[in-house]
A and B are shown apart, each in its own frame.
Chain A
Amino acid sequence: MIRHLLSGADLDADTATQILDTAAEMAAVAGREVKKLPALRGRTVVNLFYEDSTRTRISFEAAAKRLSADVINFSAKGSSVAKGESLKDTALTLQAMGADAVVVRHSASGAPHRLAGWVDGSVINAGDGTHEHPTQALLDAYTMRSRLGRLAGLSVVVVGDVLHSRVARSNVLLLSTLGAKVTLVGPPTLIPVDIAAALAPGTDVCYDLDAVLPSADVVMMLRVQRERMNDSYFPSAREYARRYGLDGARMRRMPGHAIVMHPGPMNRGMEITPEVADSPRSTIVEQVANGVSVRMAVLYLLLGGNNR
């Protein structure tokens, strides 16, 4: 098993599948009256969050606690070079406290890579800047597999602000590894240069959402921040919603079995309408539940819970 989980590229097909299979076993625990396993008793997991993300932090915290690990929440919000402790000094502090795993969320791309060079324990990237969010990709893959029964051969359409999306990067890498076909859709200003060459050669780019909906098995909507329009990525929220938002009419052009995903938090009315978000095709609430199981599997496997 790998030591750190920093990128979707760290996972080969076998490892990713092992994590998804383990997550399925973990999900069974959630159905029990006592939702706890002794696997990581005596191990310490630190949640090091430089950015607010209540949902991701709670998800990791629940996962670690269900495995009986000791959890330390270290909120370093607002920290920067100018104020507060450096990342290296924080790393050395966590190292001295005997952290077995550090779950890190940071606004700077690559911060988890830097951290991994300074601590002995496992580092799990819980979202770094505009780079990656590999456990989100794993929970998305898990959700697709649960709903559609497979990943190989699926046509997955990822829609929105790919340029700034760590979710998109991790999903492209992981889904391609697992044999799905990814198509990225958005205004050209929000699709980064050389994306296929950069991440996975089979990845397609399309600027027309309506063209790809009839053949999609999965449509994953990305959060689009309204402030992007002040940066001239698109003229207005209304125009964005009209061209790239998923509404009921568009949803009905998808095949009957196709699902709609969103990593949350949603901008209802911007990239997704309430009719779609609340429809039976939407997996948004399942994704949250699956997140805990997948993160249990990641912690369990990275910390060698299976060897004890």
Chain B
Amino acid sequence: MNSYLIRNVSVLGAAPTDLLLRDGVVAEAGPGLSAPGATVVDADGLVALPGLVDLHTHLREPGREDAETVETGSRAAALGGYTAVCAMANTSPVADTAGVVEQVWRLGREAGLVDVQPIGAVTVGLAGERLAELGAMADSAARVRIFSDDGHCVADPRLMRRALEYVKAFDGIIAQHAEEPRLTEGAQMHEGEVSTRLGLTGWPAVAEEAIIARDVLLAEHVGSRLHVCHVSCAGSVEVLRQAKARGVRVTAEVTPHHLLLTDARAETYDPVYKVNPPLRTATDIAALRAALVDGVIDIIATDHAPHAVEDKECEWAYARPGMLGLETALSIALDVLGPEWDLIAERMSRTPARIAGLTEHGHDPAPGAPANLTLVDPAARRVIDPAESASRSRNTPYARMALPGRIVATFLRGEATVLDGKAVK
């Protein structure tokens, strides 16, 4: 095992210090450390954060290895400062059995760039008809705790109630893609002024708000844990605020793109801006940002959704929804929140690790903590070039934008996965 001596690093914005990573943990912290044989990393001007944890990643393997694999997605994650990602279940075959989740988990271990924690499907084949073998996935080597039909809403209220109840036996959590399907048939973008102008079928905010309202009531009724994926509208924030005030066990995520981009992007008809839930209005963005700061929204999750070129280089209506996110998420967070390091660590590492039950992650770099951390250059600005992405896909909505911050190094259990801004393998 290698050891690393990180010199003059600012842990979460504090005064510069040294960190010694040895045997998978932060062995020592303090100014002027010496460690013969350790690889020295000059971190002058860099900020150390606990390794980021993404609760919502699409790795596409098995099934769409042309768009992403566990390995390429893991590399993109490490380059984005992540040490753990939760892989969504909508693969082909669907991750609705112990066999598939164990396969994804094993591929993650083999890639060895981040911890890949599989999410299991709630229903067989994501079809929304009967429960998948949730317990078998929980008991598998992948130790699944989060279940989601993401991409589809568990729309049947009885099935949703049963799922919420059933997973209590193993402290599971249902991550809901909140979209009332009868209100979004054929929907292409946010329903509003822009959809009217562009003649694209609208996806009304109420389709999200109605499901969240129903689900917080169900979670309250059965006393279960609910997580709401990719909250996109101001109205949803208010529903969540009220539920949390009542003590409902609900957590919620927002994506980087919903914090930054509006539905006006659709005016290009370029499907790189097509995503589900859709980009919404400046009013929604303001509400989401405020909720992220005040904690009504608990975390930032990327919804990293790679797609092959041919699935985006076409008519808007025929394109698949989704955007890349792993390699740009921290930059968007910096852009939106500013250098609020403690808040960033809370929303992108500690809380998502806690929700997912990833006990080795989400710890600030301090003596004895697992050495899962990332080093950020907050002074850097970079212009996003899709061709430079480590993802196998190129569907980033931030092409040609100048964004703050750059990941210089990432460590997983004390081993470097990224050094000098480059993946080590």
Which residues does A use to contact B, with CB under 8 Å?
80-81, 86-88, 106, 108-111, 113-114, 128-132, 166, 169, 192-195, 197-199
Please measure, in the bound complex, the distance between the C-alpha atom of A131 and the C-alpha atom of B269, giving whole angstroms.
Answer: 11
Say yes or no: A106-B198 contact (C-beta < 8 A), given A114-B269, A193-B191, A194-B193. no
- Residue contact B268 to A113, C-beta cutoff 8 Å: yes
Please measure, in the bound complex, the distance between the C-alpha atom of A199 and the C-alpha atom of B195, giving whole angstroms.
Answer: 11
Closest 10 CB pairs of A and B: A131-B199, A110-B269, A108-B315, A198-B196, A109-B199, A194-B193, A198-B197, A130-B199, A192-B196, A113-B269
| Closest Cβ–Cβ distance, residue A91 to chain B (whole Å) | 11
Say yes or no: A111-B193 contact (C-beta < 8 A), given A129-B199, A131-B198. no
Say yes or no: A199-B315 contact (C-beta < 8 A), given A110-B269, A114-B269, A193-B202. no
Q: Is B82 part of the contact surface with A, judged by Cβ < 8 Å? A: no
Work out how many contacts link A and B, with CB atoms closer than 8 A.
74
Say yes or no: A87-B315 contact (C-beta < 8 A), given A110-B200, A129-B199, A166-B199. yes
Please measure, in the bound complex, the distance between the C-alpha atom of A169 and the C-alpha atom of B195, giving whole angstroms.
Answer: 12
Size bracket of the B interface: 20 to 34
- A199 contact set on B, CB distance < 8 A: 196-197
Chain B residues 282-319 with CB under 8 Å of chain A are 310, 313-318
Please measure, in the bound complex, the distance between the C-alpha atom of A86 and the C-alpha atom of B309, giving whole angstroms.
Answer: 12
**Chain A residue, CB-CB nearest to B204:** A193
Say yes or no: A80-B318 contact (C-beta < 8 A), given A86-B310, A129-B199, A192-B196. yes
- A111 contact set on B, CB distance < 8 A: 269, 315
Query: When the two chains form the complex, which single residue of B192, B200, B310 contacts A109, counting CB atoms closer than 8 Å?
Result: B200
Say yes or no: A128-B192 contact (C-beta < 8 A), given A80-B318, A110-B269, A113-B269. no
**Chain B residue, CB-CB nearest to A111:** B315
Tell me which of A108, A130, A166 has the highest count of chain B C-beta atoms within 10 A of its own C-beta.
A108
Please measure, in the bound complex, the distance between the C-alpha atom of A195 and the C-alpha atom of B196, giving whole angstroms.
Answer: 6
8 A-B residue pairs with Cβ-Cβ distance under 8 Å, sorted by A, are A86-B314, A87-B314, A108-B317, A109-B198, A109-B316, A192-B195, A193-B193, A198-B194
- A128 contact set on B, CB distance < 8 A: 199
| Closest Cβ–Cβ distance, residue A201 to chain B (whole Å) | 11
| Closest Cβ–Cβ distance, residue A216 to chain B (whole Å) | 23
Please measure, in the bound complex, the distance between the C-alpha atom of A151 and the C-alpha atom of B198, giving whole angstroms.
Answer: 25
- B313 contact set on A, CB distance < 8 A: 86, 88
Q: A81-B315, A110-B198, A199-B196 are in contact. List 14 more A-B contacts (CB 8 A).
A: A86-B314, A87-B314, A87-B315, A88-B314, A108-B315, A109-B199, A110-B199, A110-B316, A130-B201, A166-B199, A169-B199, A193-B196, A193-B202, A198-B193
Please measure, in the bound complex, the distance between the C-alpha atom of A116 and the C-alpha atom of B199, giving whole angstroms.
Answer: 18
| Closest Cβ–Cβ distance, residue B298 to chain A (whole Å) | 31
- Residue contact B315 to A106, C-beta cutoff 8 Å: yes
Please measure, in the bound complex, the distance between the C-alpha atom of A128 and the C-alpha atom of B316, giving whole angstroms.
Answer: 12
- A106 contact set on B, CB distance < 8 A: 315
| Closest Cβ–Cβ distance, residue B283 to chain A (whole Å) | 13
**Chain B residue, CB-CB nearest to A169:** B199
| Closest Cβ–Cβ distance, residue B369 to chain A (whole Å) | 49
**Chain B residue, CB-CB nearest to A86:** B314
